[in-house]
Chain A
């Protein structure tokens, strides 16, 4: 019987395993050194905050894997012997495969700053990072002050986590406004306000020069490059993004660039070896302007669904639909559908209109094509909108006017919630060019 080996038990690997089982009776082995069972990486923050226990982040009970004959192996893979079709584990064991799927995920970025390898400096990605955090920043007593470097989604999550344990946080962000490399300025400003309102010491437009240690070799303070200011702290969170975890592939002779290179069939340059999820870099262009490297949950899941088809004989290619994503910034939920660019990345044809509620906890930004007024995408803050509806509207290629007219159809807020569509509609229409359509 064909033996499928999957390296990595995150959302990509676990989805691939589940779907291969649905579609075939191949032998499946899933290897991970990080954790015994698949868990939701995005939920690690809730474990630290005390909303959940770690086992609550595991979407399947242990018997699920047994019942579905998905063999789990807790070990790190040392090398892949591509010519012999087998992997070597750190336990000394070797496992032969007929087909291999790499789903090794990402790793936290470092940028070569002095002191970044000191104890007390870390990123937040792996389960082990969370365990480390529990040691260095368990409470206000062991961590009197924390500094977070890097204004992205993981940075703001880490800020919320530390804040939940009453640890004062200074948040250093290189950009002039939080996450404005991704969000339009109007959205970014709303978040600046919200982060500060929670008591986070948000510093915009500053970078880290150096991390200093005390005489025991632990973190003592950081120095800000622009001002020379020294901030005392016991913990430094480096959250300057993640990049594909390619070391294993690289060492095993599998072609890589920033990520493991795969074509649209998710095949690497080695026969019988596929790669999916965060660790991949697509060499064929993707539809809907999707990027060649996407470190998001949903892309990993979709590649897992696709690779299962390919391996079980339905050779389709990876074809993600319209972009969508979501996040939560302290109390503000964020959803996005389609294309909404930051000022930095805005293509020439894109224009945007905004509505922000005076209480600065809710807002929307819609983008459209200046030339033909077609709707391009939406960002929502503090308001829930329907994925299905926007996906349909993007497929149907309707105009921005049509979207605004029937925006209530896309609402997904709980029952009895106040609808803001009537508040926002006049403001949105007013900022549109007045064309009869």
Chain B
């Protein structure tokens, strides 16, 4: 008897690195859709704007959806990371670099040269890509499209279709599916539809600023700019309610939810930046830098951004407040004292109750605090109306918007997905993440627990951590993972082959549990070593 068995009796197709025929069709569809968008940029008309728009976005969306069905649903539910390190797209290969460069170029044009995309204005009608979105924009909010409308539409579409892909990929994991549905919902409803529909309410006498309700200061660094605050106030009760909501978001809602669930409630369930990173950015999560040196840089950069954003916002608000308390109670001195007072309360409480947990970082925290306070005093002493020392507050605001808002969050944060991984902005730049992380580290019920002695140090958890946390270094010691940067995406737990990691909300007591000897060994030895 002589035989060469084949796979023909297999219930499913073997996993592969190459593309199957379904994936190829899907890829072709997506590329044609993209090509149609490029045609529009170069003002090539292939049909009416509406038809062209529907065709391009339809083919793109269909491509991604069909691709994910073809890629994942033919197989058993489970971890789908075969070949990630060999794939040019996901391992900084040529395709990765090409996409990175294209995305970066797109962001530069979007932020600084929107006229290249066909932006009109001042009696000039839109053309090119932006004109393509005019019919949809008119239907939704009654106005012609802008570059931001184009960006918002593409952004939302991307989260929806790549969110669909992510759900197919994690078909066995309800945590992953639910949080993906959540980011899809918040992007579509809160970031896109509600603000667009709200702008329909605007008229000559009534005008609300464009407000994505889930975008909280300081991520939404412009929320307390003069023009916005004015238009909130001018818009009567509704506007005032929105302004109060904006303040309550950071000072009341955020601390409560972060205490209960950790910062994941925002970063991987609600936030739009996080939403894009988790869906479109998923193929790049393993590219984050896990080295200790990267962690050091991360802490310096992100906390500098918080200090910068607090100062910038304070200076901006300070510049448009008055001096006369009989006109309005919130005057310059009152405002400055309030900011200083709040920071002092937070600083004092932390130093009194959490000094031990901060360790060496307490020094840096104190440095940050005193820098801010000194600048606040400087602002008051050298009161030159709208100057913070030598900088005009409006200049400060402008450079923050340019450096942090555009270059960091957009160009580096998203354009460099295929090079630095999907959470560069969230990890190194987002001031909101820093504030939530500070609370998560010190005062939250959230932690990732490890399962006794079961870790085999394989490194899947660290490799797939998009925030560059060396999860393994904790898991192999049987220690809970309590890190300010953890966004609670839950992928470490999903990829663990031995069932070691679990995201949990539980008591504050025993949350940080350094261990030397793990469960499984002599109990006397464990007690001896772990007490030290």
Enumerate chain A interface residues (CB-CB to B < 8 A).
Answer: 11, 19, 22, 40, 42-43, 46, 49-53, 56-59, 61, 63, 144-145, 163-166, 168, 170, 196-199, 201, 227-232, 297-298, 301-302, 305-306, 309, 314, 316, 318-322, 324, 326-328, 330-331, 333, 335, 361, 384-388, 391, 412-418
Q: Write the chain B residue with the least CB distance to A318.
A: B522
Of listed B2, B490, B521, residue having the most chain A CB within 10 A:
B521
B458 touches A320 (CB 8 A): no
A391 touches B519 (CB 8 A): yes
A199 touches B4 (CB 8 A): no
List B371-416 residues whose CB lies under 8 Å from chain A.
none
Bound-state CA distance A391–B86 (Å) is 41
Asked if B314 lies at the interface with its beta carbon under 8 angstroms from chain A, I say no
Bound-state CA distance A414–B170 (Å) is 13
Binds A, one of B11-19, B232-240, B315-323: B11-19
Bound-state CA distance A302–B453 (Å) is 10
Binds A, one of B109-117, B172-180, B208-216, B301-309: B172-180
Enumerate chain B interface residues (CB-CB to A < 8 A).
Answer: 1-7, 9-17, 76-79, 81-87, 172-175, 178, 291-292, 451-454, 456-460, 462-463, 472-473, 476, 490, 493-495, 497-499, 502-504, 516-525, 528-529
Say which residue of A22, A232, A318 sits within 8 Å of B516 (CB atoms). A22
Say which residue of A58, A196, A327, A330 sits within 8 Å of B78 (CB atoms). A330
B452 touches A164 (CB 8 A): no
A384 touches B451 (CB 8 A): yes
| Chain A neighbourhood of B472, CB < 8 A | 59
| Chain B neighbourhood of A227, CB < 8 A | 1
A138 CB, nearest partner CB in chain B, Å: 11
Q: Write the chain B residue with the least CB distance to A200.
A: B10
Bound-state CA distance A324–B490 (Å) is 25
The contact sample of 5 A-B pairs, CB cut-off 8 A, is A168-B14, A197-B11, A199-B12, A231-B5, A301-B453
Q: Write the chain A residue with the least CB distance to B6.
A: A168
Bound-state CA distance A412–B499 (Å) is 8
Say which residue of A61, A230, A322, A414 sits within 8 Å of B2 (CB atoms). A230
Bound-state CA distance A57–B459 (Å) is 6
A321 and B499 in contact (CB under 8 A), knowing A50-B17, A165-B17, A168-B6?
A: no
A163 and B174 in contact (CB under 8 A), knowing A61-B291, A230-B3, A306-B522?
A: no
A10 CB, nearest partner CB in chain B, Å: 11
| Chain A neighbourhood of B174, CB < 8 A | 414, 416-418
Say which residue of B5, B82, B499 sits within 8 Å of A384 (CB atoms). B499
| Chain A neighbourhood of B502, CB < 8 A | 384, 412-415
Bound-state CA distance A55–B175 (Å) is 30
Bound-state CA distance A435–B451 (Å) is 33
Say which residue of B3, B14, B87, B473 sits within 8 Å of A166 (CB atoms). B14
Bound-state CA distance A328–B453 (Å) is 16
Bound-state CA distance A314–B525 (Å) is 10
B525 touches A51 (CB 8 A): no
A293 CB, nearest partner CB in chain B, Å: 17
| Chain B neighbourhood of A321, CB < 8 A | 519-523
| Chain A neighbourhood of B525, CB < 8 A | 305-306, 309, 316, 319
A391 touches B452 (CB 8 A): yes
A298 touches B520 (CB 8 A): yes
A387 touches B451 (CB 8 A): yes
| Chain A neighbourhood of B13, CB < 8 A | 199
A126 CB, nearest partner CB in chain B, Å: 16
Say which residue of B5, B473, B490, B493 sits within 8 Å of A59 (CB atoms). B473
B421 CB, nearest partner CB in chain A, Å: 14
A145 touches B5 (CB 8 A): yes
A331 and B456 in contact (CB under 8 A), knowing A59-B476, A302-B521?
A: no
Bound-state CA distance A43–B11 (Å) is 27
| Chain B neighbourhood of A361, CB < 8 A | 76
| Chain A neighbourhood of B12, CB < 8 A | 197-199
Say which residue of B292, B456, B522, B529 sits within 8 Å of A319 (CB atoms). B522
A52 and B460 in contact (CB under 8 A), knowing A328-B498, A330-B78, A412-B499?
A: yes
| Chain B neighbourhood of A170, CB < 8 A | 5
B131 CB, nearest partner CB in chain A, Å: 44
A335 CB, nearest partner CB in chain B, Å: 6
B16 touches A166 (CB 8 A): yes
A414 and B10 in contact (CB under 8 A), knowing A63-B292, A388-B519?
A: no
A238 CB, nearest partner CB in chain B, Å: 19
| Chain B neighbourhood of A314, CB < 8 A | 528
B76 CB, nearest partner CB in chain A, Å: 5
Top 6 nearest A-B pairs (CB, nearest first) are A387-B452, A199-B10, A331-B78, A384-B499, A43-B458, A319-B522
| Chain B neighbourhood of A11, CB < 8 A | 457
Bound-state CA distance A65–B285 (Å) is 28
A302 CB, nearest partner CB in chain B, Å: 4
A56 touches B522 (CB 8 A): no
A231 and B292 in contact (CB under 8 A), knowing A164-B82, A199-B11, A319-B522?
A: no
| Chain A neighbourhood of B453, CB < 8 A | 298, 301, 324, 387
A320 touches B520 (CB 8 A): yes
A317 CB, nearest partner CB in chain B, Å: 8
Bound-state CA distance A98–B529 (Å) is 25
A130 CB, nearest partner CB in chain B, Å: 14
A330 touches B494 (CB 8 A): no
Bound-state CA distance A202–B15 (Å) is 17
| Chain A neighbourhood of B521, CB < 8 A | 302, 305-306, 319-321
